Structure 1
Amino acid sequence: METLGGIGIFVETAQTQSFIATGRQLGISASAVSKSISRLEERVGVRLFQRSTRTVRLTIEGEVFLERCKRILSEIQAAEDDLSAMTQFPRGRLRVGLALAAGLPLPCLAAFMERYPEIELDLDFTDRLVDVIDEGFDVVIRGSDLSDSRLMSRPLGPYRPCLVAAPGYLEKQGRPSKPSDLMEHACLHYRWRNSGKLYQWPFKKKTSQHNGVALPIAMVCSDLEALLYLTIAGRGIACLPDFAVKDALAEGSLELLLDTHLTGGGTFHVVWPSSRQMAPKVRVFVDFMVEHFATGLVQKKA
Structure 2
Amino acid sequence: MIRHHYSRLRTMDRFDAMRVFTRIVERRSFTQAAGDLGLPRSSVTDAVKGLEARLGVRLLQRTTRHVSPTLDGEAYYQRCVSLLADLEDAEGAFVGAKPSGLIRMDVHGTQARHFLLPGLPRFLATYPGIRLHMSETHQQLDLIREGFDCILRAGELANSPLIRRRLATLERGTFASPGYLRRFGTPRTPEELEGHEMVGLLATDTAKISPLLFTVAGKVRQLTLPASLTVTGPETNVAAACLGIGLIQVPRYRVAAELAGGALVEVLADFPPAALPVHVLYSHTRQLSPRLRVLIDWMAAQFRERAGPAL
How high is the TM-score relative to the length of structure 2? 0.68
The question of whether the paired residues in 1 share the 8 Å contact of 2:139 and 2:205 is answered with: yes
CA distance in 1, matches of 2:282, 2:95: 22
> What is the match of residue 257 of structure 1?
267
Change (3 A) 1:233 1:84: farther
Mapping for residues 202-241 of structure 1, pairs under 5 Å? 202-204=213-215, 208-209=222-223, 214-241=224-251
Among 171, 174, 178, the alignment partner of 2:185 is 174
Mapping for residues 90-109 of structure 1, pairs under 5 Å? 90-93=98-101, 95=103, 97-100=105-108, 102=110, 103-104=113-114, 105-109=116-120
1:244 Cα deviation from its structure 2 partner: 1.4
CA distance in 2, matches of 1:93, 1:23: 15
CA distance in 2, matches of 1:283, 1:39: 28
The question of whether the paired residues in 1 share the 8 Å contact of 2:199 and 2:237 is answered with: yes
The question of whether the paired residues in 1 share the 8 Å contact of 2:198 and 2:247 is answered with: yes
> What is the match of residue 11 of structure 1?
25
The question of whether the paired residues in 1 share the 8 Å contact of 2:201 and 2:230 is answered with: yes
Change (3 A) 1:274 1:23: closer
SS at match of 2:245: coil
Change (3 A) 1:177 1:195: same
The question of whether the paired residues in 1 share the 8 Å contact of 2:106 and 2:135 is answered with: yes
Q: Does the alignment pair 1:69 with 2:77?
A: yes
SS at match of 2:214: coil
Change (3 A) 1:114 1:185: farther
Once the two structures are superposed, residues 62-118 of structure 1 have per-residue CA deviations (whole angstroms, 9 ceiling, x without a partner) of 465245235424523431342233251523125364541513332233442233322
1:170 Cα deviation from its structure 2 partner: 2.4
Gaps of 5+ in 2: 1-6, 10-16
CA distance in 2, matches of 1:297, 1:175: 29
Change (3 A) 1:272 1:23: closer
Deviates more, 1:223-232 or 1:271-280: 271-280
CA distance in 1, matches of 2:60, 2:141: 28
Q: Does the alignment pair 1:293 with 2:293?
A: no
Change (3 A) 1:96 1:181: farther
CA distance in 1, matches of 2:195, 2:46: 59
1:80 maps to amino acid: E
1:297 maps to amino acid: A
CA distance in 1, matches of 2:239, 2:35: 29
Once the two structures are superposed, residues 194-222 of structure 1 have per-residue CA deviations (whole angstroms, 9 ceiling, x without a partner) of 4323322222367644xxxx421222222
Once the two structures are superposed, residues 228-278 of structure 1 have per-residue CA deviations (whole angstroms, 9 ceiling, x without a partner) of 222223332212122212232223221112222233124434566788876
Among 126, 131, 150, the alignment partner of 1:115 is 126
1:11 Cα deviation from its structure 2 partner: 1.9
Once the two structures are superposed, residues 19-71 of structure 1 have per-residue CA deviations (whole angstroms, 9 ceiling, x without a partner) of 88x37973889xx869967995896668725556xxx474xx54652452354
CA distance in 2, matches of 1:152, 1:279: 15
1:159 Cα deviation from its structure 2 partner: 0.8
Deviates more, 1:179-188 or 1:124-133: 124-133
> What is the match of residue 243 of structure 1?
253
> What is the match of residue 159 of structure 1?
170
Change (3 A) 1:144 1:221: closer
Gaps of 5+ in 1: none
CA distance in 2, matches of 1:282, 1:46: 27
> What is the match of residue 48 of structure 1?
61
CA distance in 1, matches of 2:197, 2:99: 50
Change (3 A) 1:2 1:34: closer
> What is the match of residue 86 of structure 1?
94
CA distance in 1, matches of 2:70, 2:63: 9
Deviates more, 1:127-136 or 1:279-288: 127-136
Equivalent residue pairs, number: 285
1:85 maps to amino acid: A
Percent identity between the two aligned chains: 22
Once the two structures are superposed, residues 115-140 of structure 1 have per-residue CA deviations (whole angstroms, 9 ceiling, x without a partner) of 33222223354556777788776555
